[in-house]
Structure 1
Protein backbone atom coordinates (compact mmCIF):
# COMPACT_ATOMS: atom_id res chain seq x y z
CA UNK A 1 0.00 0.00 0.00
CA UNK A 2 2.89 2.35 0.72
CA UNK A 3 4.16 1.78 -2.83
CA UNK A 4 0.73 2.66 -4.24
CA UNK A 5 0.52 5.86 -2.21
CA UNK A 6 4.07 6.79 -3.23
CA UNK A 7 3.26 6.14 -6.91
CA UNK A 8 0.08 8.23 -6.66
CA UNK A 9 1.94 11.06 -4.95
CA UNK A 10 4.70 10.96 -7.60
CA UNK A 11 2.14 11.02 -10.41
CA UNK A 12 0.32 13.94 -8.80
CA UNK A 13 3.53 15.90 -8.38
CA UNK A 14 4.41 15.32 -12.05
CA UNK A 15 0.97 16.54 -13.09
CA UNK A 16 1.26 19.62 -10.89
CA UNK A 17 4.76 20.37 -12.17
CA UNK A 18 3.53 20.09 -15.76
CA UNK A 19 0.62 22.41 -15.06
CA UNK A 20 2.90 24.91 -13.35
CA UNK A 21 5.38 24.92 -16.21
CA UNK A 22 2.57 25.38 -18.70
CA UNK A 23 1.42 28.43 -16.79
CA UNK A 24 4.88 29.98 -16.71
CA UNK A 25 5.48 29.69 -20.46
CA UNK A 26 6.04 33.12 -22.01
CA UNK A 27 3.14 34.57 -23.92
CA UNK A 28 3.66 34.66 -27.68
CA UNK A 29 4.67 38.03 -29.02
CA UNK A 30 2.05 39.61 -31.23
CA UNK A 31 2.84 39.87 -34.92
CA UNK A 32 3.67 43.30 -36.28
CA UNK A 33 0.65 45.23 -37.50
CA UNK A 34 1.50 44.73 -41.17
CA UNK A 35 1.37 40.94 -40.75
CA UNK A 36 -2.25 40.94 -39.55
CA UNK A 37 -3.51 41.54 -43.06
CA UNK A 38 -3.57 38.53 -45.30
CA UNK A 39 -1.43 38.83 -48.38
CA UNK A 40 -2.89 38.37 -51.82
CA UNK A 41 -2.72 34.88 -53.30
CA UNK A 42 0.43 34.24 -55.36
CA UNK A 43 1.20 32.47 -58.62
CA UNK A 44 1.58 29.29 -56.54
CA UNK A 45 -1.94 29.59 -55.11
CA UNK A 46 -4.86 27.64 -56.50
CA UNK A 47 -6.89 29.16 -59.28
CA UNK A 48 -9.86 29.20 -56.94
CA UNK A 49 -7.90 31.31 -54.41
CA UNK A 50 -6.82 33.69 -57.17
CA UNK A 51 -10.42 34.06 -58.37
CA UNK A 52 -11.72 34.62 -54.82
CA UNK A 53 -9.53 37.70 -54.27
CA UNK A 54 -10.89 40.66 -56.29
CA UNK A 55 -7.43 42.13 -56.97
CA UNK A 56 -5.91 38.87 -58.18
CA UNK A 57 -9.07 38.01 -60.14
CA UNK A 58 -8.58 41.26 -62.06
CA UNK A 59 -5.07 40.13 -62.97
CA UNK A 60 -6.37 36.75 -64.17
CA UNK A 61 -9.15 38.44 -66.13
CA UNK A 62 -6.53 40.62 -67.85
CA UNK A 63 -4.43 37.65 -68.97
CA UNK A 64 -6.98 34.82 -69.07
CA UNK A 65 -10.41 36.40 -69.48
CA UNK A 66 -13.33 34.20 -68.49
CA UNK A 67 -11.21 31.57 -66.77
CA UNK A 68 -13.77 31.25 -63.98
CA UNK A 69 -16.50 30.73 -66.58
CA UNK A 70 -14.71 27.83 -68.30
CA UNK A 71 -16.90 24.69 -68.45
CA UNK A 72 -14.19 22.65 -66.68
CA UNK A 73 -13.55 25.26 -63.96
CA UNK A 74 -14.85 22.89 -61.29
CA UNK A 75 -12.25 20.34 -62.32
CA UNK A 76 -9.20 22.62 -62.31
CA UNK A 77 -10.03 25.28 -59.71
CA UNK A 78 -8.04 23.43 -57.05
CA UNK A 79 -4.91 23.45 -59.22
CA UNK A 80 -2.28 26.12 -59.84
CA UNK A 81 -1.81 27.76 -63.22
CA UNK A 82 1.42 25.78 -63.69
CA UNK A 83 -0.45 22.54 -63.04
CA UNK A 84 -3.21 23.40 -65.53
CA UNK A 85 -0.87 24.71 -68.26
CA UNK A 86 -0.14 21.30 -69.86
CA UNK A 87 -3.88 20.74 -70.32
CA UNK A 88 -4.71 24.24 -71.58
CA UNK A 89 -4.06 23.58 -75.28
CA UNK A 90 -1.41 26.29 -75.30
CA UNK A 91 -3.57 28.97 -73.67
CA UNK A 92 -1.53 29.07 -70.46
CA UNK A 93 2.11 29.44 -71.46
CA UNK A 94 5.23 29.97 -69.36
CA UNK A 95 5.35 33.55 -70.66
CA UNK A 96 1.74 34.17 -69.61
CA UNK A 97 2.40 32.68 -66.18
CA UNK A 98 5.44 34.95 -65.81
CA UNK A 99 3.37 38.00 -66.82
CA UNK A 100 0.64 37.07 -64.33
CA UNK A 101 3.26 36.56 -61.63
CA UNK A 102 4.75 40.00 -62.33
CA UNK A 103 1.33 41.64 -62.09
CA UNK A 104 0.47 39.74 -58.88
CA UNK A 105 3.71 40.85 -57.25
CA UNK A 106 2.97 44.45 -58.24
CA UNK A 107 -0.36 44.49 -56.35
CA UNK A 108 -0.38 46.80 -53.35
CA UNK A 109 -0.63 45.11 -49.96
CA UNK A 110 -4.06 45.14 -48.39
Structure 2
Protein backbone atom coordinates (compact mmCIF):
# COMPACT_ATOMS: atom_id res chain seq x y z
CA UNK A 1 0.00 0.00 0.00
CA UNK A 2 0.98 3.62 -0.37
CA UNK A 3 1.36 4.06 3.37
CA UNK A 4 3.75 1.14 3.64
CA UNK A 5 5.93 2.45 0.83
CA UNK A 6 5.73 6.00 2.08
CA UNK A 7 6.52 5.20 5.65
CA UNK A 8 9.32 2.94 4.52
CA UNK A 9 10.94 6.21 3.52
CA UNK A 10 10.89 7.11 7.20
CA UNK A 11 13.10 4.12 7.86
CA UNK A 12 15.56 5.56 5.37
CA UNK A 13 15.60 8.75 7.37
CA UNK A 14 17.02 6.72 10.23
CA UNK A 15 17.67 9.11 13.05
CA UNK A 16 15.97 12.05 11.35
CA UNK A 17 12.47 11.08 12.48
CA UNK A 18 13.37 10.93 16.18
CA UNK A 19 15.21 14.23 15.83
CA UNK A 20 12.15 15.80 14.25
CA UNK A 21 10.00 14.32 16.97
CA UNK A 22 12.14 15.85 19.68
CA UNK A 23 11.98 19.27 18.07
CA UNK A 24 8.23 19.06 17.56
CA UNK A 25 7.39 18.09 21.14
CA UNK A 26 8.11 20.66 23.82
CA UNK A 27 8.78 19.32 27.32
CA UNK A 28 5.44 20.59 28.59
CA UNK A 29 3.43 19.03 25.75
CA UNK A 30 2.71 15.60 27.33
CA UNK A 31 1.04 17.12 30.38
CA UNK A 32 -0.96 19.53 28.26
CA UNK A 33 -2.02 16.81 25.83
CA UNK A 34 -3.18 14.49 28.60
CA UNK A 35 -5.98 16.88 29.44
CA UNK A 36 -6.52 18.20 25.92
CA UNK A 37 -8.83 16.96 23.23
CA UNK A 38 -7.35 14.42 20.81
CA UNK A 39 -6.23 16.14 17.64
CA UNK A 40 -4.52 15.02 14.43
CA UNK A 41 -2.82 18.42 14.48
CA UNK A 42 -1.51 18.61 18.04
CA UNK A 43 -1.61 15.20 19.74
CA UNK A 44 1.49 13.08 19.22
CA UNK A 45 1.06 9.53 18.03
CA UNK A 46 2.66 8.39 21.28
CA UNK A 47 -0.11 10.11 23.23
CA UNK A 48 -2.76 8.63 20.92
CA UNK A 49 -1.37 5.16 21.65
CA UNK A 50 -1.94 5.68 25.40
CA UNK A 51 -5.69 5.90 24.76
CA UNK A 52 -6.98 2.46 23.75
CA UNK A 53 -10.04 3.83 21.92
CA UNK A 54 -7.96 6.38 20.02
CA UNK A 55 -5.38 3.73 19.14
CA UNK A 56 -8.14 1.47 17.80
CA UNK A 57 -9.57 4.34 15.74
CA UNK A 58 -6.14 5.15 14.31
CA UNK A 59 -5.42 1.54 13.41
CA UNK A 60 -8.87 1.18 11.84
CA UNK A 61 -8.10 4.07 9.49
CA UNK A 62 -4.38 3.27 8.96
CA UNK A 63 -3.67 -0.40 9.75
CA UNK A 64 -0.16 -0.26 8.29
CA UNK A 65 0.94 2.48 10.68
CA UNK A 66 1.63 0.00 13.49
CA UNK A 67 4.98 -0.93 11.96
CA UNK A 68 6.21 2.67 12.30
CA UNK A 69 5.13 3.63 15.81
CA UNK A 70 8.70 3.57 17.11
CA UNK A 71 9.82 6.01 14.41
CA UNK A 72 6.90 8.44 14.51
CA UNK A 73 5.60 8.33 18.08
CA UNK A 74 6.85 11.84 18.84
CA UNK A 75 5.15 13.30 15.77
CA UNK A 76 1.55 14.26 15.09
CA UNK A 77 -0.44 12.73 12.25
CA UNK A 78 -0.35 16.10 10.50
CA UNK A 79 3.45 16.01 10.64
CA UNK A 80 3.61 12.47 9.29
CA UNK A 81 1.15 13.18 6.46
CA UNK A 82 3.59 14.97 4.11
CA UNK A 83 5.94 11.97 4.34
CA UNK A 84 3.20 9.48 3.47
CA UNK A 85 3.15 10.18 -0.27
CA UNK A 86 -0.59 10.80 -0.19
CA UNK A 87 -1.60 7.87 2.00
CA UNK A 88 -2.49 10.31 4.78
CA UNK A 89 -4.28 13.09 2.96
CA UNK A 90 -6.68 15.76 4.22
CA UNK A 91 -9.66 13.43 3.85
CA UNK A 92 -7.93 10.74 5.92
CA UNK A 93 -6.95 13.27 8.59
CA UNK A 94 -10.57 14.48 8.74
CA UNK A 95 -11.86 10.91 9.05
CA UNK A 96 -9.42 10.15 11.88
CA UNK A 97 -10.33 13.42 13.61
CA UNK A 98 -14.02 12.52 13.34
CA UNK A 99 -13.26 9.19 15.02
CA UNK A 100 -11.33 10.99 17.77
CA UNK A 101 -14.20 13.44 18.27
CA UNK A 102 -16.62 10.53 18.66
CA UNK A 103 -14.46 9.13 21.48
CA UNK A 104 -14.51 12.30 23.57
So what's the TM-score if we normalise by structure 1? 0.55
List alignment gaps of at least 5 residues for structure 2. Answer: 1-34
Higher-Rg structure is 1
Q: Where do 4+ consecutive residues of structure 1 move more than 3 Å?
A: 38-41
**Higher relative contact order (CA closer than 8 Å, sequence separation 6+):** 2
List alignment gaps of at least 5 residues for structure 1. Answer: 1-37
Structure ranking higher in helix proportion: 2
**Equivalent residue, structure 1, for 2:64:** 66
* Compared CA separation, residues 41 and 107, structure 1 to 2 (3 A): same
Q: Shift of the alpha carbon at 1:39?
A: 6.0
Q: Shift of the alpha carbon at 1:40?
A: 5.9
Corresponding residue to 2:81 among 78, 85, 90? 85
Q: Shift of the alpha carbon at 1:81?
A: 0.4
Give the Cα separation in 2 of the matches to 1:39 and 1:79.
Answer: 16
Q: Shift of the alpha carbon at 1:69?
A: 2.0
Kept in 2: contact 1:61–1:67 (CA 8 A): yes
Kept in 2: contact 1:41–1:53 (CA 8 A): no
Corresponding residue to 2:39 among 30, 37, 42? 42
**Equivalent residue, structure 1, for 2:95:** 99
Q: How many residues align?
A: 70
Give the Cα separation in 2 of the matches to 1:93 and 1:103.
Answer: 16
